[in-house]
Amino acid sequence: MTNADIDRAWAIFTARTILGIVFLIAGAYKVFLWGPLEHARVLFVVPYAQTFLPVWALWATGAVVPIIELLTGALVLVGLWTRPSLFVLGGILVFVTFGHLLLQSSTSINPFILPRSALLLVVVLMPHEADRFSLDWILSRRRSLNRGPA
């Protein structure tokens, strides 16, 4: 492993763990302290009641999003199933962007969505084998060692 590999691993680790912490904490707060249904009511159902969005969809997404944030945030934090988790989180960011812009000005996405998207892109655009401080990397290395020389 070269010094450049170590530096790149640290860069990915920094972006990935901060992203994981941010989503894990948000999810933990909404699921355990707030409750998914109360989260759905306060942030989805009540504000969007006058829009064209169906109420059942507001309840469903409002209750599920915090759980997804919690699970994918934890996975991204430790670097397990990182890529699928990042794609799910990317979908959530796009979904939340739509929700914000439906009711608020275009600048409303600046404090929450853009910084998280930037961190997510840093990790996604790096080769996954460069993320050496992750469980994915440890597991893939163990698999290749068990497989032995070809």
Q: Can you give the binding site for other proteins, defined by CB under 8 A?
A: 3-4, 6-8, 10-11, 13-15, 17-18, 21-22, 24-26, 28-30, 33, 39, 43, 111-112, 115, 118-119, 122
- Give least dist CB 87 to other proteins, A: 20
Nearer to other proteins, 21 or 88 (CB): 21
| Secondary structure (DSSP) of 15-57 | HHHHHHHHHHHHHHIIIIII-HHHHIIIIIITTTTTSSS-HHH
3-state DSSP assignment of residue 63 = helix
3-state DSSP assignment of residue 149 = coil
- Give least dist CB 78 to other proteins, A: 13
Nearer to other proteins, 38 or 88 (CB): 38
